[in-house]
Chain A
């Protein structure tokens, strides 16, 4: 049995400390230790992106990161995106443009889009499709997701 490792991760602006097994994946720490179940497990093989969160501002598949690797980092999940009762422009975009059907991929899709717009505030459609290529949606054919991200980019440019 391996020794538990102390970690402190700033999750959505709040410091969370725990003793964890080294093999605990970040996604399981978020979902099972912190009850932040907005981050989903899809494929569990680093492909589908449903588990995407931001680590120090950069998108990452939290099924492919050990919680111990995020010690001292800032992690943002879908739960940390809205400002109080006001939705983030990307959440609003997915609402307005109907960027989902079943919704399973949506939290990861939105977190990837946050990373994309941070690096490229006015992406072309091709750049949006490349930017979310690490996120799989099996319902929508992606068109409404692309529309949702464009909607958000335009709104963020105005404000």
Chain B
């Protein structure tokens, strides 16, 4: 399958990419790993007139920790994130989730910035970023803008990102007691239902929690009923009752040949419980 012809520019810097984005207008698309965009272009679901390659930019790379805050550059691949000793020690949920995306070849090319900007309803990382209360860093012609992950994801394939803006990275507080559990579509490993839970634990008691779901609905979102039920709950025993209503509380639930609405609602409760239990096991 051959995509429509397009102009190609390799940006030498983020600043140059921003200029090219402005010049290209609505015809322009950013290319990093290309593992969401290129398959869409081959099927001609996307036909950008200009591709701006930002894949190799050093400015968008790196994983750093400063005073407990971890920052990941947008062009870091899932394989690099999975292999990061820093993340394995300080935010294992992120490394583990990245290690379970797609397959080895996909993880070697696909980037965190691309995954978040594309916002596939079955993508794993959006739920993890919402649960960690991550901040998405964007750069546009008017400078930097920071958006909380829960506000960034708005609808199916729709995020708070201007045509003239670039996702430059994400940052979040280090968190050990967090885990992600997913029911995966076996061929693609996309989440039919994926739940990320990040807990604040005081011994066996949960003082506060952030829980987010992906796959089940149009976009990654918090499960506020579960979060409320977890406050003050004793874990892991209280996980099942806190998770019980998770699926029923969702406004909209996806339905396709891999799972009916009823099935996804039921599995949302199951995988919410598993994510909470796994996170509590780390406390």
Across the interface, do A2 and B105 meet the contact criterion of CB distance under 8 Å?
no
Across the interface, do B6 and A60 meet the contact criterion of CB distance under 8 Å?
no
Q: Please tell me if B38 contacts chain A, counting CB pairs below 8 Å.
A: yes
Across the interface, do A112 and B105 meet the contact criterion of CB distance under 8 Å?
yes
Across the interface, do A60 and B8 meet the contact criterion of CB distance under 8 Å?
no
Q: Please tell me if B10 contacts chain A, counting CB pairs below 8 Å.
A: yes
Across the interface, do A3 and B31 meet the contact criterion of CB distance under 8 Å?
no
Chain A proximity of B83: nearest CB distance (Å): 8
Across the interface, do B34 and A64 meet the contact criterion of CB distance under 8 Å?
yes
B104 touches which of A21, A69, A134 (Cβ 8 Å): A134
With most chain B CB atoms within 10 A of its CB, the pick from A5, A58, A112 is: A58
Across the interface, do A59 and B38 meet the contact criterion of CB distance under 8 Å?
no
Across the interface, do B8 and A46 meet the contact criterion of CB distance under 8 Å?
no
Q: Are A134 and B34 also in contact (CB < 8 A) when A3-B7, A47-B187, A68-B53 are?
A: no
Cα distance, A134 to B35, chains bound together (Å): 14
A64 touches which of B8, B38, B83 (Cβ 8 Å): B38
Q: Which residues of chain A in 28-72 are interfacial with respect to chain B, using CB atoms and an 8 Å cutoff?
A: 44-47, 49, 52, 55, 58-61, 64-66, 68-69, 71
Complex: chain A residue closest to B37, CB-CB: A64
Count of A-B contacts judged by CB separation below 8 Å: 84
Across the interface, do A22 and B79 meet the contact criterion of CB distance under 8 Å?
no
With most chain B CB atoms within 10 A of its CB, the pick from A3, A46, A58, A112 is: A46
Chain B proximity of A120: nearest CB distance (Å): 11
Across the interface, do A22 and B108 meet the contact criterion of CB distance under 8 Å?
no
Q: Please tell me if A133 contacts chain B, counting CB pairs below 8 Å.
A: yes
Q: Please tell me if A147 contacts chain B, counting CB pairs below 8 Å.
A: no
Chain A residues whose C-beta falls within 8 Å of the C-beta of B83 in the assembled complex? 119
Across the interface, do A66 and B38 meet the contact criterion of CB distance under 8 Å?
yes
Q: Please tell me if A8 contacts chain B, counting CB pairs below 8 Å.
A: no
Q: Please tell me if A115 contacts chain B, counting CB pairs below 8 Å.
A: yes
B6 touches which of A23, A64, A133, A135 (Cβ 8 Å): A23
A23 touches which of B2, B39, B104 (Cβ 8 Å): B2
Cα distance, A115 to B10, chains bound together (Å): 27
Chain B residues whose C-beta falls within 8 Å of the C-beta of A69 in the assembled complex? 31, 34, 53, 55
Interface mask (B163-204 → A, CB under 8 Å = 1, otherwise 0): 000000000000000000000000110000000000000000
A-B contact pairs, 27 of them (CB 8 A): A1-B5, A2-B6, A2-B7, A3-B7, A23-B3, A23-B41, A44-B42, A45-B1, A46-B106, A47-B187, A47-B188, A49-B103, A49-B105, A58-B109, A59-B108, A61-B106, A64-B39, A65-B38, A65-B109, A66-B38, A68-B10, A71-B10, A112-B104, A112-B105, A115-B105, A134-B106, A135-B103
